[in-house]
Amino acid sequence: MLLFSVCLELDATKIGPAAEFVPSPIKANTLQLTDAVLANLTAQKVAGVSFFMFNTKPAANFECKVFPGDLDWPSKAIWSIFNLLTGNALIETVPIGAVCYQNSGFYSASACTDLLAGWTKSNTHVRDPTSVMSPMYQGETCHPARASPNSTCTLGGFPSYVVNVTNIAQVQLAVNFARVAKLRLVVKNTGHDFLGKSLGAGALSIWTHHLNEVQFLPKISTPSWTGAAFRIGAGVEGRHLFAAAERYNVTTVGGECGGVGVAGGYTAGGGHSPMSPLVGLGSDQALSLDVVLPSGRFVTANETHETDLFWALRGGGGNTFGVVTSMIVKAHPKIPVSGMTFSVLSGAETNVSITLFWEAMYAYWRRFPGFAEKRSYAYSTIFPAPGGGYSWSMLPWMVPGMPLAEFKSMVAPLLAEWEELGLKVTPYYFEYPSFYPVWKGHFPEETVANSDLRVGSRLFPKGNWANATRRDALFDSVRSVVEDGSALIQYNAKYDAPEGTIPSAANTHWRDAIWFTIIGVNWAGSGLPEVEVERLNKKFHQDWMGRLRPFGPGAYGNEADVMEPNFGEAFYGGNYERLVKIKKELDPTDLFWVPTGVGSEGWKVKGSREWLTTQEGRLCRV
Ligand SMILES: Cc1cc2nc3c(=O)[nH]c(=O)nc-3n(C[C@H](O)[C@H](O)[C@H](O)COP(=O)(O)OP(=O)(O)OC[C@H]3O[C@@H](n4cnc5c(N)ncnc54)[C@H](O)[C@@H]3O)c2cc1C
Ligand SMILES: *[C@@H]1O[C@H](CO)[C@@H](O)[C@H](O)[C@H]1NC(C)=O
Ligand SMILES: *[C@@H]1O[C@H](CO)[C@@H](O)[C@H](O)[C@H]1NC(C)=O
Ligand SMILES: *[C@@H]1O[C@H](CO)[C@@H](O)[C@H](O)[C@H]1NC(C)=O
Ligand SMILES: *[C@@H]1O[C@H](CO)[C@@H](O)[C@H](O)[C@H]1NC(C)=O
Ligand SMILES: *[C@@H]1O[C@H](CO)[C@@H](O)[C@H](O)[C@H]1NC(C)=O
Ligand SMILES: *[C@@H]1O[C@H](CO)[C@@H](O)[C@H](O)[C@H]1NC(C)=O
Ligand SMILES: *[C@@H]1O[C@H](CO)[C@@H](O)[C@H](O)[C@H]1NC(C)=O
């Protein structure tokens, strides 16, 4: 292979995009890689074409994915041919931070200033081909804020090459190339992933951001759904779908951060939403998905075709069964929303003592089953505050479909109890005819791309409240982690599947949960020596998470600890066994691999600091 590649002479004028026109209502689907295209390339003796063929036969067992510098790493000439076949869609990775490094060849003082100013905004990373919002997994080897005159910017965990896809043929070419050349393959959509699943050293990446079509379908009919729907490309973000829904007087489901991709990791991982108490998880919305399989073949998975795949793609994880290129999601009637926001500051410099703060919090937590029953959604954050206290922000507490008067009477007993305890809160109430203005006004844009941050989560089932001793032990455990320095992001809501929902692979632990919590540890700027950082990480996985696990066997795999022991049970619940079976059938060579993905146990990223779980190393069999 090596000799062949080195001797290859490239006549760029002879090679054009490898794609055939196929009629389709979706623009991206009109260009596909077909057997006829490949036969044509073979007839024309296009060099290297064997790299791009369909093939479902497992390759011979190989120890590691091919890595840059290896003898069988594709030559520059092969990469050039690949680029021509994709219609010049190939990008050689330049780390987003390179503009801040003086010796990188990409230095620009003004671009660096702009990058630093926009660093914590999701769009900065969404529109970059490789940047991700959890920079820790990249190794922070080209972090714009850490550049000094002599420091060097390296690729770290970033992939080597990216295909900026706008059509199906390009996705198929990339999948075939990675499979035949035994490359690591990753998919990046927006880069929101918290576990390092949208990047990988030495990989070829498929970037779905520009698959961004949104089409309103006023009425469709499937065995389970008659009504409105949207057809959306894989790169569509929540904010695009929310805006379209408002325009057509309907309601759709997406993450609370507008930049989260709807058809990517969100639907693949389950996806929770402020609308979930009424209409279910993100994955409960999908009616049809277009997918490029590990074999390179393009299929539609829906209620009547590829039904195992259809089941698995809804909640069974991203970058595991293939590349989703577009999907059809439910559009519900317009739903009015009422709710409130408030904030409480406790500690020595305030009027709220820490004792009062926790009394008030327990009074709130005790009422969770009742609120969940009313299909309420309450999203709040607790952060450490000066004076040893805590800052608690109710971002919104809202109930889809409930009039404000009813909302006020729902919360009145809690407010009265707080008053009795001595806590005065000043709620700001709201009521709107649809979800869009609530989302625009009451879901503040989240800060992303924090350095050196690790998160973990837990889904606590309602059963914990049936026994007061157990319930209080749960509260004490969560409190103890916050007292030890963690932030707490908490959601009190119900995530069961509405009647008529098509069964899916969504984590079974969602369905009986009424409290979803996220905790985190951050050591950025701490100046701690590496051995202390390692100790802190161990404390997080074992001690902090260990205090919460006894009360909730499940966690949300999209917002979770990548070191979760027994992740199959925690992230996929009762669906794990069937998912593994489907994975083995569809992807016998493990072309698609992500940490904590279904069937990922057979491989690991080798590196010098494995406890940090970066994606900087080579991917090898365990
Ligand atoms: C600020 C912030 C807010 C969030 N809010 C919410 C929330 O409200 N609700 C919620 O449920 N989650 C939320 N999340 C978590 C979010 O759902 C996950 O990070 C999700 O995986 C993001 O999907 P993505 O496609 O946008 O991101 P990416 O990081 O690009 O991709 C995530 C994973 O999906 C894979 N993937 C992406 N696209 C495809 C595709 N087309 N085909 C196959 N695999 C694909 C990637 O390979 C990767 O493994 C939030 C995350 C952040 C950082
Ligand atoms: C095959 O090649 C011929 C000649 O270049 C071209 O006209 C035809 O469209 C090609 N067919 C496909 C399916 O690519
Ligand atoms: C950078 O390199 C120059 C020349 O080698 C050296 O004099 C200087 O001390 C270095 N600065 C830092 C911050 O390492
Ligand atoms: C990716 O492709 C889109 C659509 O062709 C194009 O507008 C965009 O500039 C490309 N991005 C990069 C970084 O090449
Ligand atoms: C499912 O997809 C197939 C293939 O595209 C299509 O023929 C069929 O009509 C679809 N079924 C439903 C219920 O939409
Ligand atoms: C949405 O509803 C408003 C008010 O009810 C109406 O004026 C508008 O025409 C509707 N828009 C669509 C696209 O149906
Ligand atoms: C504490 O309460 C007093 C009296 O009600 C008030 O004047 C003061 O502003 C409060 N301080 C804070 C920090 O809320
Ligand atoms: C309640 O929970 C506690 C602690 O988990 C347990 O010891 C006790 O047996 C439980 N009581 C009942 C009635 O189940």
Q: Please, which residues have CB within 8 angstroms of residue 102's CB and are 6 or more apart in sequence?
A: 147, 149
C-alpha of residue 164 to centroid of ligand 4, in Å: 6
Place of tokens 């609370």: 256
% of residues, the chain, pLDDT over 70? 98
What pLDDT score was predicted for residue 609?
87
With a cut of 70, say whether residue 305 has pLDDT above it: yes
Q: What is the mean pLDDT of residues 543-555?
A: 98
C-alpha span between 20 and 37 (Å, rounded): 7
What pLDDT score was predicted for residue 607?
87
- Taking the CA of 424 as reference, the closest ligand is 7
What pLDDT score was predicted for residue 61?
82
Fold entry, domain 337-573: Vanillyl-alcohol Oxidase; Chain A, domain 3 (3.40.462)
**For 57-91, what is the HEC assignment?**
CCCCCCCECECCCCCCCCCHHHHHHHHHHCCCCEE
With a cut of 80, say whether residue 551 has pLDDT above it: yes
Cβ of residue 507 lying under 6 Å from some atom of ligand 7: no
Q: What is the mean pLDDT of residues 128-155?
A: 97
578-614: pLDDT as tens digits: 999 999 999 999 999 999 999 999 999 998 788 999 9
379 backbone dihedrals φ, ψ, rounded to 5°: -120, 115
With a cut of 50, say whether residue 618 has pLDDT above it: yes
pLDDT band at 518 (very low <50, low <70, confident <90, very high): very high
27-66: pLDDT as tens digits: 999 999 999 999 999 999 998 999 999 975 667 789 999 9
**For 471-496, what is the HEC assignment?**
HHHHHHHHHHHHHCCCEEEEEECCCC
Q: Where in the chain is the domain with CATH 3.40.462.20?
A: 337-573
* Strand, helix or coil for residue 303: coil
- Best substitution site from 187, 209, 292, 395 to test ligand 1's pocket, by max atoms within 8 Å of Cβ? 187
Q: Whose C-alpha lies nearest to ligand 2, atom 1?
A: 40
Cβ of residue 351 lying under 6 Å from some atom of ligand 7: yes
110-119: pLDDT as tens digits: 999 999 999 9
456-476: pLDDT as tens digits: 999 999 999 999 999 999 999
489-512: pLDDT as tens digits: 999 999 999 999 999 999 999 999
Euclidean distance between the first and final Cα of the chain, in Å?
A: 26
Q: What is the mean pLDDT of residues 526-532?
A: 95
Cβ of residue 346 lying under 6 Å from some atom of ligand 7: no
The CATH code that applies to domain 214-333 is 3.30.465.10
Q: Mark out the alpha helices in 213-306 (DSSP H runs).
A: 238-247, 267-269, 276-279
Secondary element (H or E) of residue 450: none
CA 377 from chain center: how many Å? 21
Q: Where in the chain is the domain with CATH 3.30.465.10?
A: 214-333
With a cut of 90, say whether residue 422 has pLDDT above it: yes
| Torsional sign, CA 226, 231, 236, 242 | negative
Strand-pair partners of 428: 341
What pLDDT score was predicted for residue 1?
35
Secondary element (H or E) of residue 297: none
With a cut of 80, say whether residue 5 has pLDDT above it: no
Spatial contact of 537 and 612, defined as CB atoms under 8 Å apart = yes
With a cut of 80, say whether residue 4 has pLDDT above it: no
With a cut of 60, say whether residue 144 has pLDDT above it: yes
C-alpha span between 321 and 176 (Å, rounded): 14
Cβ of residue 350 lying under 6 Å from some atom of ligand 7: yes
What pLDDT score was predicted for residue 8?
56
What pLDDT score was predicted for residue 6?
40
What pLDDT score was predicted for residue 57?
67
Q: What is the mean pLDDT of residues 237-260?
A: 96
At position 139, the amino acid (one-letter code) is G
